[in-house]
Structure formats: C-alpha cells, structure tokens
Amino acid sequence: MIEMKHVEKSYRQVPVLRDVNFRIERGEYVFLKGDSGSGKSTLLKILYRDIEDYSGEVTLDGKPLRSLARYESRRIAGTIFQTFELLGRKTVYENVALAGEVIGRREDEIKQETLNLLHRVGLSGKQDRYPHELSGGEQQRVAIARALLNKPKVLLADEPTGNLDPANAEKILDLLKQLNEEEGITMFIVTHAEELSHKYQARTLYVREGRVEE
Ligand SMILES: Nc1ncnc2c1ncn2[C@@H]1O[C@H](COP(=O)(O)OP(=O)(O)OP(=O)(O)O)[C@@H](O)[C@H]1O
C-alpha cells in the first residue's frame, strides 16, 4: 500500500532522509517514531504530496506516486494533524461536508455520509457547533471524519494526539484502531505517545540517522 525505495530528501543541502526503504501492506496499523527533528514529518509530507523535491521511488496503492495527480493521491491517502486544521468559521457538519464538495460529489450523498461519519466518530448531535465549541479530542474526531469522507485507503496521521491529554489521546488511538479493524483502512501514525502505543502491539518503524528501521 505504501512503499519507499532509496528515498532521500535534503533541505538546503542538509540531508534529512538519506536512504529510506520500507513497505507497508494494505490493512496494516503502523506507528512511525523517532527523535525530534529526525524527519518523521518530512517522510509523511512526501506521502501526502506537500514535498515533491525528493529522490527515490515512492509507491502508493501500487502506483508510483509521481504518476498520480495530487488530487488522486490525496483521495487514496487522507490526512490528520496535531493541530486538527479545521475551519473556524464553519460548523462541524460543514467542515466534513466540504471535503466532498471540493471534489464535486452529489449533495445528497455528501449529506448522508457526513452524518454517518459524525455518528461513527461519536459526534452525533454536535454537527452545528463550531470548532471552538468542542474539546480537542472532539476537534480531532471532526478531522478524522473529514479525512474519511472520500473513502481513502490510507490515513496518514502526523502526531494526531500531540495536543490532547492522555485520556483523549487514548480515545483517538482507539478510534483509529477500530477504523483500521472494521473498515480495513491502512493507518500510518507518527506518534510520541510511548506509553499509549505499547497497548496496541503495533508494528513500529523508527527514523534514525536518515533511515527507517523496524
Ligand atoms: N522547510 C524546511 N526547511 C529547512 N529545514 C527543514 C524544513 N522542514 C524541516 N526541516 C528540518 O528537517 C529536519 C526534520 O524535520 P521534521 O519536521 O521532518 O522532523 P520530525 O521528526 O517530524 O520532528 P518533530 O518530532 O520535532 O516534529 C529538522 O532538522 C528540521 O529542522
């Protein structure tokens, strides 16, 4: 589902990723760890097409990443972030539905799926609230619903629990695990939450000295 071969990335001649090689199969639930500044976000940014100037080969869903248009790869791989990235002037419902509107999906379909997803992530009844009227954990649930609206095969999560207290962090990781098991969505999660991630006995990759190790 995700593969990197000999991936290298430098910022102004300073190498961050030196020779990254790994493979994640469809349906896996994988954590990505590493020291601060080791290159975890950089690696994820390559996958969600925020960084295009790297060398090496990246494959997403069996296709070379470079052969896919950005919008195609972003439909295959949804994203969530530490900072949630919700639109403050839009309601919960609108934040999620917008993901369908921008790619021109039918309104009735968007409505049904948005409501289903909000229920799925535990936010039924909060659809008309604004992000600032929600807890951090709830905001991250909105972001998860938004990321899932267009049925991605992979969810790329950059520190999804970084702004949450331990109890809410655990609930978010539980939800991601549930979505992985029940919907078969491949999960690739950057996390520092050491004590929490042990609970899942998940495969863990480490970025060390510009390489990825098991
Ligand atoms: N746009 C940029 N320009 C120059 N250097 C950058 C840029 N983005 C990141 N870096 C540097 O690249 C290195 C890797 O950064 P990256 O954000 O990928 O690390 P990280 O492992 O995600 O760190 P953290 O755990 O602190 O979020 C760091 O030394 C960082 O300072």
The CATH number given to whatever domain includes residue 181 is: 3.40.50.300
- CB-CB neighbours of 44 under 10 Å: 22
Instruction: Report whether residue 39 contacts ligand 1, using a CB cutoff of 6 Å.
Output: yes
ipTM, 2 decimals? 0.97
Q: Which atom of ligand 1 is nearest to the CA of 34?
A: 21
Residue pLDDT tens, the chain, 214 long: 999 999 999 999 999 999 999 999 999 999 999 999 999 999 999 999 999 999 999 999 999 999 999 999 999 999 999 999 999 999 999 999 999 998 889 999 999 999 999 999 999 999 999 999 999 999 999 999 999 999 999 999 999 999 999 889 999 999 999 999 999 999 999 998 666 777 888 899 999 999 999 9
pLDDT at 201: 81
pLDDT at 195: 66
Q: Residue 105 Cα, ligand 1 centroid: separation in angstroms?
A: 36
Q: Which atom of ligand 1 is nearest to the CA of 42?
A: 18
pLDDT at 107: 95
Q: Residue 152 Cα, ligand 1 centroid: separation in angstroms?
A: 26
User: Which among 122, 205, 118, 125 is positioned nearest to 171, based on CA atoms?
Assistant: 122
3-state SS, residue 195? helix
For residue 38, the enclosing domain spans 2-213
Q: Residue 37 Cα, ligand 1 centroid: separation in angstroms?
A: 5
Predicted TM-score (pTM) of this structure: 0.95
Rounded Cα distance between 28 and 181, Å, is 9
Instruction: Report whether residue 41 contacts ligand 1, using a CB cutoff of 6 Å.
Output: yes
Report the first-to-last Cα separation within the chain, whole angstroms: 17
Q: Which atom of ligand 1 is nearest to the CA of 159?
A: 27
Q: Edge to edge, what strands does the sheet with 29-34 contain?
A: 77-81, 154-158, 186-190, 29-34, 203-208, 211-213
C-alpha dist (Å) from residue 61 to 65, 73, 182, 213: 9, 9, 19, 22
**For the chain, what is the domain count?**
1
